[in-house]
Amino acid sequence: MDKNKYAQLLQSDRARYYRIAYSYVKNEPDALDIVGEAACRGLVQLGTLRREEYFRTWMTRIVINCALDHLRRAGRTVSLDDVEPEPAPQDAAFECEDTLDLYDALEALSPRDRSCIVLRYFEERSFAEMAEILGEPEPTVKARVYRALKKLRGHMEKGERQR
C-alpha cells in the first residue's frame, strides 16, 4: 500500500478512531493526540500491513495501543469531574445522569475489558474482528465481554442503590 492510499483510508475512518481514543481518555485534546500518534505509527509500520482489506482492523489496534500507552504515560485515570458530557438528543433513551453512570462504570473496568466493550458496543465489531484486533482467541474475547458486562451491571446496580 502506498502513502496516498494510507492517507485516504485513514481520513475516511478518522471519526471512528477519534471515538475509540476518546472512550479511553474522555477529553478532546488527548484523543486528538492519540489519533495523531496512531497515524504516525501506522505510517512507520505500513510495511507490516499484509493485506489492504485488513487496514481498519490493523489501524484500530494501533489506536487502542496508543491510547493505552497514553494512559500509562499519564499515570492517571480520568475523573468524571474532568469530563463534560456531550449534549444528549431530546429523544435519548437515557438521561444525562444515566450516561455519566455508564462512563463511570466503564472507568471501573480494566483497559482490556474496556477495549472489549468499546469495540463490541460502541464500534459494533463482531467477536471475530475483536479477536483479530486484540490478538486473542475468539472464545477469550467472548468471555471477557460477558464478564465485563457483568461488572458493568454490578456497578450500575450499586449506583442505583446509593441514590
Evaluate whether residue 83 is within a structural domain. no
Distance CA 56, CA 132 (A): 11
Residue 24 CA to residue 152 CA, distance in Å, equals 16
pLDDT for 91: 45
What pLDDT, on a 0 to 100 scale, did the predictor assign at position 76?
A: 52
Residue 108's CB is within 10 A of a number of other CB atoms, namely 14
Helices (H), the chain: 3-12, 14-25, 28-44, 55-74, 96-107, 111-117, 127-134, 138-162
Tell me the whole-structure pTM to 2 decimals. 0.65
Q: What pLDDT does 120 receive?
A: 87
| C-alpha cell at position 144 | 471477557
| pLDDT tens sequence across 120-130 | 888 888 999 88
Do 71 and 105 belong to one domain? Answer: no
Q: CB atoms < 10 A from the CB of 55, how many?
A: 19
Cell representation of residue 3: 502513502
In a domain, 41, yes or no: yes
Structural domain total, the chain: 2
The model's pLDDT over 30-41, given as tens digits with 9 standing for 90+, comes to 999 999 999 999
Q: How confident is the model at residue 12 (pLDDT cuts 50, 70, 90)?
A: very high
CA 114 to chain centroid, in Å, comes to: 7
Question: Where is the domain boundary, 29, 50, 78?
Answer: 78
Q: How far apart are CA 111 and CA 65, in angstroms?
A: 10
Return the CATH number at 97: 1.10.10.10
Q: Is it the case that residue 13 has pLDDT exceeding 50?
A: yes
